[in-house]
Amino acid sequence: MKFSDSLEGDTVVFEVSGKVIAHEESTTRFHGRVREYINLNKKQVVVDLGKVETMGSVGLGMLISAFSTVTNAGGRMVLANITRIENLIAMTRLNTVFQSYDSLDEAVKSFNNQ
């Protein structure tokens, strides 16, 4: 798994790519970066999954943990481009937890519509 992060205005965007199937140093770094942004009072988070090839339980756990961290800090986290893992999200019923958008642009704009 690889990820990059950036700011689009006040919204943090994480772009995740590759296979998210095993616990790696990158999943630990991902959690650390989420916490760093929370500490900077950046609590609007989009996780773009459009370049994820496959995801397993480790990836789901990573998303749930990030969601909990952001939500507990009073923020909001949404997903973008979940097409490749949409069945996994639905099968685990996480579609009732995560708001998802078809594009990164829609996800970022969703924070303006609150």
Query: For the domain that residue 23 is a member of, what is the CATH number?
Result: 3.30.750.24
Report yes or no on 96 lying in a domain.
yes
Domain that includes residue 90, residue range: 2-102
Per-residue pLDDT, 21: 87
Report yes or no on 94 lying in a domain.
yes
Report yes or no on 17 lying in a domain.
yes
Report yes or no on 114 lying in a domain.
no
Using the predicted structure, report yes or no on whether residue 114 has a pLDDT greater than 70: no
Report yes or no on 111 lying in a domain.
no
Report yes or no on 30 lying in a domain.
yes
Per-residue pLDDT, 24: 77
Model pLDDT for residues 12-69, shown as the tens digit of each residue: 999 999 999 877 788 899 999 999 999 999 999 999 999 999 999 899 999 999 999 9
**Residue 45 to residue 95: CA distance in whole angstroms:** 17
Report yes or no on 19 lying in a domain.
yes
**Residue 44 to residue 37: CA distance in whole angstroms:** 9
What pTM value is reported for the model?
0.94
Domains contained in the chain, number: 1
Model pLDDT for residues 63-105, shown as the tens digit of each residue: 999 999 999 999 999 999 999 999 999 999 999 999 999 999 9
Report yes or no on 109 lying in a domain.
no
**Short-list 64, 37, 63, CA closest to 52:** 63
